[in-house]
Amino acid sequence: MTFEAVNWVEVGRNSGDDLKRSVFRLLRNASAAINGDDPHDPKLLEVVPRLADLIATKPELKSFKEAYSALARATGLWNYIDKSSADTADAIVAEAVTADELGVTFHREQIAVLNDLLAGRNVILSAPTSFGKSLLIDALLATGKYERIAIVLPTIALLDEFRRRLRRRFRDRFDVIMHPGDVVGDGPTIFLGTQERLLNRDDLGSLDLTVVDEFYKLDADRKDERSASLNAAVYRLLARSRQFFFLGPNIDTVRVSGGGRWQFNFIKTRFATVAVDTFDLRAIPDKRERLLEEIGKEENWPALVFVSSPDKANTLASEAAKEMAVTESRGEFSDWLGENVGSRWSVVRSVRFGFAVHHGRIPRAIASHMVRLFNTGHLPVLFCTSTLIEGVNTAAKTVLIYDKQIKRADYDFFTFSNIKGRAGRLGEHHIGRVFLFNEPPEQVEMEVSPTVFSDEDDAPDDYVVFLEDEDKSDVVEDRISELRRSLDLDPAGLRLAASIGLDVVAEIKRTVENRLRFSTQLVFRGQPDYDTIRVLVNVVTQVKKVGEYGAKSEAQLVLRISRLRRARTIKEFLREHDDNLQEKELDFDLVFKFLRACEYGLPQIFSIIEIYVKRKHPEADYHLFLRSLARWFRAEELKNLDEEGVPIQITERFHRNGDTYSSLVERLSTAVTSRSPQLSEFERAWVANALDIPLG
């Protein structure tokens, strides 16, 4: 029997004896299929989560619980076995694969992967989003076999998600190192970082295990501008690690060349733990109207709406808020945003009526709280771009794929599959729903070709500059020597240049050398004055578009840097932006793009400028300025807590000169537990959730 033909909606409409007969036939046919040609057919596996929903909501199916648990055991979905109603043999299986410390029962495919890893093998795993890949990391940590672990994650938002989970589960076993300034002790340690952060750490030591999430980003052909730094970071980590584990979805093959230095088992599985219903809306005449209709239905909540750009997310959320309210319980969040960010930000109104927004411009602590409220059902609809699809786990029941582009180009089948994979969540939404508003891309196999696994002679320049001497061929040595000569950089400078772009740095070199012939304005120590900032920015805009840094003109970028340094608080800086806004409403959050640029992009390019200035004027020293800019001219502990989900607008009220991260967290904890009037009840809950402080 093919389970493609089963009309599950019709089955669910039955009741009494009719329903019991339908379910009996399904169980009988599933049993036959398990002993047939393809016991791993995804449609067969879907029977288990679909029956889970039926049995939970239909009292007349109580007598089927034992047979259902037997089916869950036979398909390998051991996490669905109901120990209280299963027969003894099935209950023993479930008990044997349950990690009490984690509160998790594993399924068959998870156990198979764990066995490989615990045998010491390197593993690259390709599995669906609902597989439970992150749980495997926790299971490895729980064994006590690994003491120093590096985990490479694509976004800071995902760093914080991992940090919260790992500290909750392993607080007493591991030190979790996430921020660049964190001090590493002698005990068991987990290094959490983006590729840029781990690439720049010099305190990693020897590692027992390196984990790389979303490993498909190692493929340079995917045109990810961070691919070279990711490959360089992974190269550096693997050289000091005795084992590695790469994870990702929907990969068919991994291509290796260059002598096969890295040996691994590639495991590809279709094993999914949730079922998905797909609704084709391509032919409807008014897609916007239908979108609003679907997101207004409670049966679809919580619902993710995928769109192509931040502006589109803001616009649709705003339009939805004008037409309906899907909740009216988030007024305090909306009020907080209006007071602490700016009342002219369109997201303020969207949130008031239940619509969350998530994209790369949203401030991290606010984006984290958006997702938290979405996952708890307080904001039932979330408009998002690919930054959420790639970076954060959500508890979405429904995914509405409204657009088919990312950065003005059609997404491929791989990305489309990743977006679809966000529908449904084990333990919460056994049956996901996907609404398609456009033609899906043609299905093709996905091959990943990591640069780190390729022949070094064929690797790009911005990767080979990170190679150790023993790994460089004569051809590579000659290439690097020529780069050092043409750019006039030592190895450290060359690695910095690679992260910016070697062609860009060559142009910066020419521009700086020309400026120094006629002026010394680029020569300063400490903090630059307004005119010097203007000259620095002018150098940047000779090689980069000013829009990359969240400004519409060179003068505006200079003004924003100056205002950020001058503002006493981030709240004051944002409110000044709100008061003086002369741009379109949709341009409001360009100021957030500017703040992101201050963290990494601008300090990087200013650092290269400093190198060339120091060639002629060794007395120049940008260090204080660059360090201050990267943390928005605030104390480091404020920036670190913002990454951990506590907005600077709150922590600035509590910060004192001389504070450390620990002393500030202690003061915040005391404010939460004592119900300090410095925190509203809404803020109190926010801080408690972000820092895992029990609410009395």
Q: What is the rounded average pLDDT of the residues 669-690? A: 96
Which stretch of DSSP H or E encloses residue 99?
strand 98-99
Read out DSSP for 514-582? HHHHH--TT--BSS--HHHHHHHHHHHHTTS-GGGGT-SSHHHHHHHHHHHHH-SSHHHHHHHHHHH--
Q: Does 18 have pLDDT greater than 60?
A: yes
Q: Residue 394: its pLDDT value, please?
A: 86
Q: How far apart are CA 687 and CA 679, in angstroms?
A: 9
- Mean pLDDT, residues 572-583: 89
Asked if residue 538 has pLDDT above 90, the reply is yes
CA distance 293 to 273: 29
C-alpha distances in Å from residue 560, one per residue of 255, 381, 599: 46, 33, 14
Q: What is the pLDDT of residue 258?
A: 63
- Predicted confidence (pLDDT) at residue 36 exceeds the cutoff of 90: no
The CA-atom distances, in angstroms, between 513 and each of 493, 543, 545, 558 are 17, 14, 21, 22
Residue 580: per-residue pLDDT: 86
Tell me the residue ranges of DSSP E strands in 215-345: 244-248, 253-254, 265-268, 275-280, 303-306
* CA atoms within 13 Å, Cβ hemisphere of 249: 22
CB 185 within 8 A of CB 644: no
Amino acid present at 236 = R
pLDDT at 585: 72
Q: What is the band of 388 on the pLDDT scale with cuts at 50, 70, 90?
A: confident
Q: How confident is the model at residue 241 (pLDDT cuts 50, 70, 90)?
A: very high
Residue, of 278 and 262, whose pLDDT is higher: 278
Rounded CA separation 315/337 (Å): 17
pLDDT band at 390 (very low <50, low <70, confident <90, very high): low
Residue 437 neighbours by CB under 8 Å, 6+ apart = 281, 282, 284, 287, 290, 291, 400, 401, 402, 403
Residue 271 phi/psi, 5-degree rounding, is: -65, 110
Give the burial string for 218-246 (b: 16+ CB within 10 Å, else e). bbbeeebeebbbbbbbbbbbbeebebbbb
Question: What is the structure's pLDDT at 587?
Answer: 84
CA distances from 367 to 117, 395, 661, 693 (A): 34, 15, 22, 20
Res 1 pLDDT > 60: no
In this structure, are residues 473 and 457 in contact, taking their beta carbons and an 8 Å threshold?
yes
Angstrom distance (rounded) from CA 177 to CA 183: 8
pLDDT digits (tens, 9 = 90+) for 587-643: 899 999 999 999 999 999 999 999 999 999 999 999 999 999 999 999 999 999 999
Q: Tell me the percentage of the chain whose pLDDT exceeds 90.
A: 86
Distance in angstroms (rounded) separating the CA atoms of residues 169 and 166: 5
pLDDT of residue 581: 82
Q: What's the confidence (pLDDT) of residue 391?
A: 60
DSSP annotation of 633 reads T
Report the predicted TM-score, pTM, of the whole model to 2 decimal places: 0.95
Which pLDDT band holds residue 337 (cuts at 50, 70, 90)?
very high
Report pLDDT for 560.
Answer: 97
Q: Model confidence over 489-515: pLDDT tens digits?
A: 999 999 999 999 999 999 999 999 999
CA 360 – CA 79 distance, rounded (Å): 35
Q: How many helical (H) and strand (E) elements, i.e. helices and strands, does the chain have? A: 31, 19
Question: What letter would DSSP give residue 459?
Answer: S
| Architecture of the domain spanning 283-436 | 3-Layer(aba) Sandwich (3.40)
Mean predicted confidence (pLDDT) in 130-134: 90
**Which of 123-127, 218-222, 286-290, 295-299 has the least mean pLDDT?**
218-222
Q: Does the domain formed by 108-268 have CATH 3.40.50.150? A: no
| Per-residue DSSP letter, 587 | G
Residue 583 pLDDT > 80: no
Length reported for the chain: 696
What pLDDT was estimated at residue 680?
96
Q: Determine contact, residues 294/300, Cβ cutoff 8 Å.
A: yes
Band of pLDDT at residue 4, cut at 50, 70 and 90: confident
Pairing of strands 398-401, 431-436: parallel
Please answer whether residues 61 and 69 qualify as being in contact, where contact means their C-beta atoms are separated by less than 8 angstroms. Answer: no
Mean pLDDT of 146-173: 94
- Quickly state the pLDDT bin for 38 (edges 50, 70, 90): low
The residue type at 677: P
* Predicted local distance difference test score (pLDDT) of residue 408: 81
Residue carrying the six token digits 């910016």: 500
Least confident of 23-27, 139-143, 318-322, 384-388: 384-388
Other beta carbons within 10 angstroms of residue 452's beta carbon come to 23
| Mean local confidence (pLDDT), 536-552 | 96
Q: What is the mean pLDDT of residues 397-403?
A: 96
Render pLDDT for 401-459 as a digit per residue (tens, 0 to 9): 999 998 788 989 998 999 999 999 887 899 999 999 999 999 999 999 999 999 989 89
Find residue 247's DSSP bridge partners. Answer: 125, 213
Q: pLDDT band at 39, cuts 50/70/90?
A: low
Reported confidence tier of residue 316, pLDDT bands at 50, 70, 90: very high
For residue 442, with 0-12 CB atoms within 10 Å meaning exposed, 13-18 middle and 19 or more buried, which class applies?
exposed
Average pLDDT along the chain: 94
Cβ atoms of 484 and 490 within 8 Å: the answer is yes
Helix (H) or strand (E) holding 49: helix 42-57
Give the pLDDT score at 309: 92
pLDDT digits (tens, 9 = 90+) for 354-377: 999 999 899 999 999 999 999 999
